[in-house]
């Protein structure tokens, strides 16, 4: 024997059925939080990876005022001396690649149907160093700098009923607001697996766009890779210190997170919903513990009275019940961790294939199979949560036990 802990442990064992209920109530939460956090972190890491790989790069540069009007993809708010700037930034040690681009609004037509698209004019080789472009091609080939060709998504190809080698008419307004049209050959068809890209985007070589849009060598966007999205801030800060104040006055340097605000907001609101959901579940678990432990206290009144009579203080009584709660909590935490880790490991190594319908509704580029990314945080967090829940759940019954009058407690059956 020797300690109150052992007495408490045996009481947990004595009241097996109730203890098991309490343990389940807590461990189910811990299990769910551990597994869910791993899954959700994997989700976030994957979307960040894909957003930067497919859409944003790590840092972008625009002329002042462009971003405010980005919706109309203005061709008249351009980066001054973009080639010089590109060469300068390329030399920075934390920058791995720089590409110039023109974003433009346009439409493509197969002579029967016309569909509005987001056009992006790219320097094919540099673009491919920053983005997953070549590997996204599922048919045909990637662009070359001198091609009079276009890359379109598989969904757009389907909607237009066209394939590699077919010709499309590409319409847009030039920098000087005149209408223009160019006939382009479909060189390749890409698929990113989510509709936002595969339905709406087209890519053409910068050289072709320069004539077609009458840009006179200007571009409205520059995209920079820092090697990995974790290194974004380092590269961002380096660019800001390397460029002269005069240059910085005319441009806006933005980390990719500025272009992923929708995703960031989604993450935030998802997190809040999960905190609320788990908060409710944990509160229910706490009420369950209060209930079952109060029953224990009532049933053990005479034992409490006896212990008080033979000289245990009020504190000692509440300690016995609190220890019982803590032991329950610790068992629940270990069980929750164990099963949570199993599911988390399964998600990490095997992954979870997402149903096809899922991709029709998301505007975040995530992979078809999501993998978990476990972290120590959820274990620390659920450990604390489990203990706190057990302590709150045990506190009220323990206090009730401690407050009993000895004679009353002894008289209860």
Partner 1 sequence: MSLIHINKVSKDYHLGKTIVHALTDININIEKGDFIAVAGPSGSGKTTLLNLIGTLDTPTAGEIIFEERNVSNLPDREATRVRATKLGFIFQTFNLVPVLNVFENVEFPLLINERDNAENRKDVTELLTRVGLEQYQKHRPDELSGGQRQRVAIARALINKPMLILADEPTANLDSKTGENIVDIMLKMNKELGTTFIFSTHDPKVVRHATKKIYLVDGQVDKVEGNNQS
Which positions lie near partner 1, rule CB under 8 A?
A: 1-4, 7, 10-11, 13-14, 302-303, 305-314, 316, 406-407, 410
Is the CB of 115 or the CB of 312 nearer to partner 1? 312
**Residue owning tokens 């709150």:** 392
| Residue-by-residue DSSP string for 295-361 | HHHHHTHHHHHHHHHTT--HHHHHHHHHHHHHHHHHHHHHHHHHHHHHHHHHHHHT-EEPPTTHHHH
Is the CB of 1 or the CB of 112 nearer to partner 1? 1
Is the CB of 281 or the CB of 312 nearer to partner 1? 312
Q: In whole angstroms, how close is the CB of 281 to partner 1 at the nearest point? A: 31
Is the CB of 6 or the CB of 271 nearer to partner 1? 6
What is the bridge-based pairing of β-strands 149-153 and 179-190? parallel
Is the CB of 1 or the CB of 111 nearer to partner 1? 1
Q: 366-402: buried (b, 16+ CB within 10 Å) or exposed (e) per residue?
A: bbeebbbbbeeebbeebbebbbebbbbbbbbbbebbb
Q: In whole angstroms, how close is the CB of 17 to partner 1 at the nearest point? A: 16
Q: In whole angstroms, how close is the CB of 18 to partner 1 at the nearest point? A: 14
Q: Whole-angstrom Cα distance, residue 374 to residue 45?
A: 11
Sign of the alpha-carbon dihedral angle for 202, 208, 214, 215:
positive
Is the CB of 243 or the CB of 409 nearer to partner 1? 409
Q: In whole angstroms, how close is the CB of 360 to partner 1 at the nearest point? A: 59
Q: Whole-angstrom Cα distance, residue 158 to residue 179?
A: 26
CB 335 within 8 A of CB 26: no
Q: In whole angstroms, how close is the CB of 406 to partner 1 at the nearest point? A: 5
Q: In whole angstroms, how close is the CB of 322 to partner 1 at the nearest point? A: 16
Is the CB of 192 or the CB of 323 nearer to partner 1? 323
Q: In whole angstroms, how close is the CB of 9 to partner 1 at the nearest point? A: 9
Sign of the alpha-carbon dihedral angle for 362, 364, 367, 370:
negative
Q: 243-282: buried (b, 16+ CB within 10 Å) or exposed (e) per residue?
A: beeebeeebbbebbbebbeebeebbeeeeeeeeeebeebb
Burial of 408 (0-12, 13-18, 19+ CB in 10 A): exposed
Q: Bridge partners of 24?
A: none
Q: Whole-angstrom Cα distance, residue 199 to residue 152?
A: 8
Token code pair at residue 115: 């569909």
Instruction: Count H helices and E strands in the chain, helices first.
Output: 15, 12
Q: In whole angstroms, how close is the CB of 304 to partner 1 at the nearest point? A: 10
What is the bridge-based pairing of β-strands 114-122 and 251-255? unpaired
Q: In whole angstroms, how close is the CB of 403 to partner 1 at the nearest point? A: 10
Going by C-alpha positions, the residue among 85, 110, 122 that lies closest to residue 168 is: 110
Is the CB of 123 or the CB of 303 nearer to partner 1? 303
Is the CB of 136 or the CB of 325 nearer to partner 1? 325
Is the CB of 305 or the CB of 394 nearer to partner 1? 305
Q: In whole angstroms, how close is the CB of 7 to partner 1 at the nearest point? A: 6
């Amino acid at each position: 024997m020797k300690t109150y802990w052992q007495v408490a442990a045996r009481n947990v064992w004595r009241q097996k059925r109730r203890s098991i209920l309490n343990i389940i109530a807590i461990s189910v939460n811990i299990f769910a939080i551990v597994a869910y956090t791993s899954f959700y972190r994997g989700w976030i890491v994957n979307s960040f990876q894909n957003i930067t790989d497919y859409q944003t790069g790590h840092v972008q540069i625009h002329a002042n005022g462009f971003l405010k009007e980005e919706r109309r993809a203005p061709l008249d708010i351009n980066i001054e001396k973009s080639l010089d700037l590109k060469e300068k930034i390329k030399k920075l040690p934390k920058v791995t690649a720089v590409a110039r681009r023109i974003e433009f609004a346009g439409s493509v037509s197969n002579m029967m149907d016309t569909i509005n698209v987001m056009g992006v004019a790219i320097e094919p080789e540099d673009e491919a160093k920053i983005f997953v472009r070549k590997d996204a091609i599922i048919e045909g080939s990637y662009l070359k700098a001198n091609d009079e060709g276009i890359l379109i998504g598989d969904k757009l190809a389907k909607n237009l009923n066209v394939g590699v080698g077919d010709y499309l008419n590409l319409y847009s307004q030039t920098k000087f607001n005149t209408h223009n049209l160019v006939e382009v050959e479909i060189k390749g068809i890409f698929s990113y697996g989510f509709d936002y890209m595969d339905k709406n985007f087209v890519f053409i070589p910068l050289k072709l766009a320069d004539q077609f849009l009458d840009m006179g060598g200007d571009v409205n966007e520059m995209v920079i890779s820092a090697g990995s999205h974790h290194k974004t801030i380092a590269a961002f800060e380096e660019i800001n210190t390397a460029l002269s104040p005069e240059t910085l006055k005319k441009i806006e340097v933005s980390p990719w997170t500025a272009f992923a605000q929708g995703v960031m907001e989604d993450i935030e609101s998802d997190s809040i919903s999960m905190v609320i959901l788990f908060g409710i579940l944990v509160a229910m678990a706490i009420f369950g513990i209060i209930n079952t432990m109060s029953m224990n206290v009532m049933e053990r009144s005479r034992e409490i009275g006896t212990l008080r009579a033979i000289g245990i203080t009020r504190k000692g009584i509440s300690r016995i019940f609190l220890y019982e709660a803590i032991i329950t909590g610790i068992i629940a935490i270990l069980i929750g961790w164990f099963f949570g880790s199993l599911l988390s490991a399964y998600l990490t190594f095997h992954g979870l294939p997402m149903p096809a319908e899922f991709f029709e509704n998301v505007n975040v580029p995530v992979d078809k199979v999501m993998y978990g990314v476990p972290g120590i945080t959820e274990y620390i967090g659920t450990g604390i949560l489990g203990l706190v829940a057990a302590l709150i759940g045990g506190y009220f019954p323990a206090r009730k036990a401690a407050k009993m009058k000895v004679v009353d407690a002894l008289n209860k059956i």
